[in-house]
């Protein structure tokens, strides 16, 4: 995050931001990675309810995984579940206060 703050150019900021997203999207459990990718695919194809179910399964495995909270918040938001989306984003922020994805919604 210190590098992002001192990036100096938009191009370098984008590179650092992508690196941060890669870190946030990584997990030691391969099952989580597979489900995270499936949830992203479902969200992209507007299968929001199934995406929420996918992210909920991830959170049953690891409730301390901020990116799963962030992505579930996004899927809930797209379904119009604003209160649940805000709750999920808040949990992600509690776990990782610098998670700009949770902050930006």
In this model, does residue 3 exceed pLDDT 90? no
Residue 41 confidence (pLDDT): 98
Contact by Cβ (8 Å): 74, 47: no
Q: pLDDT tens for residues 50-98? A: 999 999 999 999 999 999 999 999 999 999 999 999 999 999 999 988 7
DSSP track, 5-67? HT--SHHHHHHHHHHHHHHHT--S-HHHHHHHHHHHHHHHTT-HHHHHHHHHHHHHH-TT-HH
Give the Cα separation of 45 and 6 in Å (integer).
Answer: 36
Q: Which of 1, 93, 75 is nearest to 36 (CA)?
A: 75
pLDDT tens, 15-61? 666 766 677 777 899 999 999 999 999 999 999 999 999 999 999 99
Q: How far apart are CA 69 and CA 17, in angstroms?
A: 19
Q: What is the pLDDT of residue 52?
A: 98
Which domains are assigned to the chain?
29-104 (1.25.40.10)
pTM summary value: 0.79
């Amino acid at each position: 995050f210190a590098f992002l703050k001192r990036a100096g150019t938009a191009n370098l900021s984008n590179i650092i931001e992508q690196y941060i997203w890669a870190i946030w999207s990584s997990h030691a459990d391969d099952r989580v990675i597979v489900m995270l990718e499936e949830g992203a695919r479902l969200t992209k194809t507007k299968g929001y309810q199934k995406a929420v179910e996918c992210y909920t399964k991830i959170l049953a495995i690891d409730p301390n995984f901020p990116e799963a909270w962030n992505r579930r918040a996004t899927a809930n938001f797209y379904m119009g579940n604003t209160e649940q989306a805000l709750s999920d984003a808040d949990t992600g922020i509690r776990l990782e206060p610098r998670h700009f994805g949770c902050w930006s919604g």
